């Protein structure tokens, strides 16, 4: 019996939430690029990617996976990709992630090493903790593609 009484309250609560969420949405006419701004726009992202490359070259756990790659091309593509993922005005034009990594058999150790280097590269560029977390959150869906799971 008490359940019946709770139902209108629940509906009212849901409608209230919908109004609040809808309100937020209609306020933001253009896509949210706050993360892109926090990363220092494309130039800031390019610096992070450059420092990431230096860290990768020095990292015995993963540098062999990057042997023979076109460094300039890699830098350009990854910068575009992070720019796009962070809400910036870029388009990633590289190969599809799963296809790109399919022959590499990347282990969790190697994936962790890359994640660590990315965090260190962001720290070297004074990217705030919150922006670091938000970028990694955007990158998470790529995990199964990169690990070929």
Partner 1 sequence: MTTRHLVTLTMALLVAPSAMADIGSRIWATGGVTTIEGSAGGGLVPWALLGSYASDEEWGGTLALGRAEVDDYTLSVTGVGLNWNNRLEITVARQTLDLDSLVFTLKDGFGLQEDELNQDIFGAKVRLAGDVLYSPWGQWSAGVQYKRQRDFTVPRAIGARDDSGTDVYFSGSKLFFAAAMERNLLVSLTARASRANQGGLLGFGGDRNNSHELMMEGSVGLFLNRQWLVGAEYRQKPDNLGFASEDDWWDLFVAWVPDRRLAVTGALVNLGDVATLEDQQGLYLSLQGSF
H or E stretch at 45: helix 41-58
Task: Compute the least distance from the CB of residue 107 to partner 1, in Å.
Answer: 5
Secondary structure of residue 132 in the 3-state scheme: helix
Residues 108-137, one symbol each (x = binds partner 1 by CB under 8 A, - = not), give xxxxxx-xx--x---------xxx-xx-xx
Q: Is residue 105 a contact residue for partner 1 (CB under 8 A)?
A: no
- Say if CB 101 and CB 145 are below 8 A apart: yes
Query: Among 3-11, 40-48, 94-102, 104-112, which window interacts with partner 1 (CB under 8 A)?
Result: 104-112
- Name which of residues 12 to 71 contact partner 1 (CB under 8 A): 59-61
Task: Compute the least distance from the CB of residue 76 to partner 1, in Å.
Answer: 26
Query: Both tokens of residue 62?
Result: 């993963």
Which positions ≥6 away from 65 have C-beta within 8 Å? 104, 106, 110
Residues of this chain that bind partner 1 (CB under 8 A): 59-61, 107-113, 115-116, 119, 129-131, 133-134, 136-137, 140, 143
């Amino acid at each position: 019996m008490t359940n019946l009484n709770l139902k209108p309250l629940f509906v009212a609560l849901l409608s209230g939430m919908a109004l609040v969420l809808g309100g937020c949405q209609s306020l933001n006419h253009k896509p949210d690029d706050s993360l892109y701004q926090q990363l220092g726009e494309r130039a800031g992202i390019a610096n992070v990617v450059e420092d990431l490359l230096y860290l990768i070259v020095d990292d015995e756990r993963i540098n062999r996976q990057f042997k023979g790659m076109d460094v300039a091309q890699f830098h350009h593509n990854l910068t575009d990709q992070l720019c796009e993922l962070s809400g910036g005005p870029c388009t990633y034009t590289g190969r599809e992630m799963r296809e790109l990594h399919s022959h590499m058999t990347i282990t969790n150790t190697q994936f962790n090493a890359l994640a660590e280097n990315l965090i260190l590269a962001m720290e070297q560029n004074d990217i705030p903790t919150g922006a670091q977390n938000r970028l990694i959150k955007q990158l998470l869906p790529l995990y199964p593609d990169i690990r070929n799971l």
